[in-house]
Structure 1
Amino acid sequence: MAAENPAAGTTEEVDGDWCLIESDPGVFTELIRGFGCTGAQVEEIWTLDADAFHHLEPIHGLIFLFKWVDDKPAGRVVTDRSDIFFARQVISNACATQALLSLLLNLRHADIDLGQTLSDFKSLCQDLDPGTRGHCLGKEEKIRKVHNSFARPVLFQLDPLPCSPDDFCYHFVGFMPIKGKLYELDGMQEGPIELAEIGQQQNWLDVVRPFIEARMERYSVGEIHFNLMALVSDPQRSYERQIQLLVHQPSPLSHAERRLEIATLREFVKFEEEKKRRYRQENTRRRHNYLPFIIELLKQLGETGQLMPIYEKAKQRALQSEERCKSAPNQPQPQ
């Protein structure tokens, strides 16, 4: 699902367009790689059950896509926390990258290296106010280029229309623990939203879950237009480190147990390698411009007299399907 900036009609103009980004773990993982950050990736979460979070831990932050409504924040908006990196969103369609950067630039973990581009950007903006940081992001060509590498090819460029109250506008926000408190990082706000204290014995995921559930409950029955993803350490690195320890360090395991554990970990590594290969393949397809092929195919079908028969056949199937819907009992009529 692609996301729109919900305030596209009200944000300030910043040089350079930013494309819509699909809410997909492979896309966000490649954004991380493109920014030069290593040791992190994004995983999709299909359920809010605790077990769904447990096997991904450590989870450093969550990225939530939802149908945006202009509503009061769920907690206190803080504007006096210079130790939290927060940038206001002044760029249309940039909320995906902003949500991801909000997590990465507040993250301190031995597994994850921000890389030169993000480290330089954070250093440049560290002492600036959130609005100026947003403008700096709009001028950061390296980050914008990576973001726009997922721009979909279009045959015609239409003038953009401002969002109306009836439009379906979607928005990305981030959730993460920072110094013992849970924050929502939403670029449409004036600052980070302080949601709750996190007790010393609490898992922050248990604290954030009710807030996400409450956000989902705002939707009408049957609404599924939301998506949740987790920012995690690259599990392949963890598995490879465990293999090295089993191979080179003393272990209480017997030789047979050690061999079995190594074999299991190597299967996990293969699974992660295959997942990354699949992500690369899917992203290649996302970026490929199929329009010339489609136009040429339609042209060839037209020249050989095959286009209109195909069209008529498809039209007939559609009419038959509509008739079946009308005649089926207890079925809603097409609108």
Structure 2
Amino acid sequence: MSGGWNTIESDAGVFTSLIENLGVKDVQFEELLTLDPSELATLQPLYGVIFLFKYPTDRPYATSDGPIDGRFDHDASQQIFFARQTIQNACATQALLSVLMNKTGDHVEIGSQMRDFRDFTMVLPPDLRGEALSNFDLIREVHNSFARSSPFADETQRTGGEAEDAFHFIAYTPINGTLYELDGLQPAPISHGPCDTDSFPAKVVDVLQRRVARYEATEIRFNLLAMCRDLRIRARDFADDDLLARENSKRRDWQFENALRRHNFVGFAGEVLRGVVDSKLKQGGDSAVDAWIGESLERRRAAEKALRRGDGDVEMG
């Protein structure tokens, strides 16, 4: 019996390290801050993009006749890797695999275990592919290794009567001359028309802009990650020492940040708190500790009120 899947962040360092731990070589992710085709084009060879958004949209996603944008291509599932999402929290890894599993002919090395998994599941229908993916121990364990460490149940989470926004990952990638949207919550790949690797940046930005336009103007919670060839390869090919230094530095930062995500800081926080309390006791006994706690609570309440009013950045100390 397989275990569950934990939520992971939409982060270039997380996704890059995740696929490397699956055995993928010479591929990385880059976060995009704008919907600018020229920015995407600088990352060629570009394999696809992963889009994170609030689900569902503020307007209907599909009608009885099909998706509002594009069309369902049910026949495509026989030729391309498309898996239905059958388990909660797996959509991030499922989206990036939707790109990777369809790039085996583009000189992308996905590793022996992922290649064997693809070969095994391609004869299955999309729903059984999703079941196989959800129960593949290697993929689930690597995915969960990037979840934030938390030893506590979050008692601040919304309960029963309060609705909580849900977010979802999907993939866009050009396959066999067509731009496909691969969303495990949909019954089939969604075709957005003819598209090759050169036209992909402009074409996918058009599709994304139409999708974003279906939200209220105040909704800004989107994230876009591009999957491209390891930029260090380009740096070495063109003897670009500055680019190579930046990319190596970025990798070190990613490694450090991923280590922090996995680490449990409860012991450290406890020691810091104990030291502060000891210091306050020496200054004025229990009354000094009580005063410090009261002041801290007041500062936090004031900061939370300022955030609710939209006063911008505030000190939460």
Shorter-chain TM-score: what band? Answer: 0.7 to 0.9
Q: Is the contact between residue 298 and residue 307 of structure 1 (CA under 8 Å) also seen in structure 2?
A: no
In the other structure, the counterpart of 1:195 is 192
2:71 is equivalent to residue 76 of structure 1: yes
In the other structure, the counterpart of 2:264 is 289
Q: Is the contact between residue 149 and residue 261 of structure 2 (CA under 8 Å) also seen in structure 1?
A: no
How does the TM-score come out when normalised to structure 2? Answer: 0.83
Q: Is the contact between residue 101 and residue 118 of structure 2 (CA under 8 Å) also seen in structure 1?
A: yes
Looking at structure 2, the residues matched to 15 and 163 of structure 1 have their Cα atoms a distance apart, in angstroms, of: 28
Q: Which amino acid aligns with 1:315?
A: L
Looking at structure 1, the residues matched to 188 and 159 of structure 2 have their Cα atoms a distance apart, in angstroms, of: 25
2:138 is equivalent to residue 148 of structure 1: no
Q: Cα 1:123–1:27, aligned 2, differ >3 Å: closer, same or farther?
A: same
In the other structure, the counterpart of 1:183 is 180
Q: State the identity as a percent.
A: 36
Q: What is the Cα-based RMSD across aligned positions, in Å?
A: 3.1
Counterpart secondary structure, 1:88: coil
Q: Which amino acid aligns with 1:44?
A: E
Counterpart secondary structure, 2:225: strand
Q: Which amino acid aligns with 1:33?
A: E
> 1:238-293 deviations in whole A, cap 9, x for unaligned?
33234xxxxxxxxxxxxxxxxxxx4xx12221111111111111111111111222
Q: Which amino acid aligns with 2:165?
A: F
Looking at structure 1, the residues matched to 38 and 194 of structure 2 have their Cα atoms a distance apart, in angstroms, of: 23
Matches within 5 A, 1:129-148: 129-148=125-144
In the other structure, the counterpart of 1:235 is 231
Equivalenced residue count is: 295
Provide structure 1 residue ranges, at least 5 long, that are not aligned to the other structure: 1-13, 243-261
Counterpart secondary structure, 1:172: strand
Counterpart secondary structure, 2:146: coil
In the other structure, the counterpart of 2:284 is none
2:266 is equivalent to residue 276 of structure 1: no
In the other structure, the counterpart of 1:94 is 90
In the other structure, the counterpart of 1:170 is 167
Looking at structure 2, the residues matched to 23 and 322 of structure 1 have their Cα atoms a distance apart, in angstroms, of: 26
In the other structure, the counterpart of 1:258 is none
In the other structure, the counterpart of 1:9 is none
Counterpart secondary structure, 2:51: strand
Q: Is the contact between residue 86 and residue 192 of structure 1 (CA under 8 Å) also seen in structure 2?
A: yes
Q: Which amino acid aligns with 2:236?
A: E
In the other structure, the counterpart of 1:49 is 36
Q: Is the contact between residue 41 and residue 201 of structure 2 (CA under 8 Å) also seen in structure 1?
A: no
> 1:20-45 deviations in whole A, cap 9, x for unaligned?
01011011101111111001000011
Q: Equivalent of 1:317, from 285, 299, 307?
A: 299
Counterpart secondary structure, 2:74: coil
Counterpart secondary structure, 2:30: strand
Looking at structure 2, the residues matched to 223 and 213 of structure 1 have their Cα atoms a distance apart, in angstroms, of: 13
- Report deviation, 1:158: 6.8
Looking at structure 1, the residues matched to 105 and 92 of structure 2 have their Cα atoms a distance apart, in angstroms, of: 22
Looking at structure 2, the residues matched to 23 and 212 of structure 1 have their Cα atoms a distance apart, in angstroms, of: 17
Looking at structure 2, the residues matched to 293 and 60 of structure 1 have their Cα atoms a distance apart, in angstroms, of: 41
Q: Which amino acid aligns with 1:123?
A: D
- Report deviation, 1:170: 0.3
How does the TM-score come out when normalised to structure 1? Answer: 0.79
Q: Is the contact between residue 184 and residue 193 of structure 1 (CA under 8 Å) also seen in structure 2?
A: yes
Looking at structure 2, the residues matched to 130 and 94 of structure 1 have their Cα atoms a distance apart, in angstroms, of: 15
Looking at structure 2, the residues matched to 224 and 97 of structure 1 have their Cα atoms a distance apart, in angstroms, of: 23
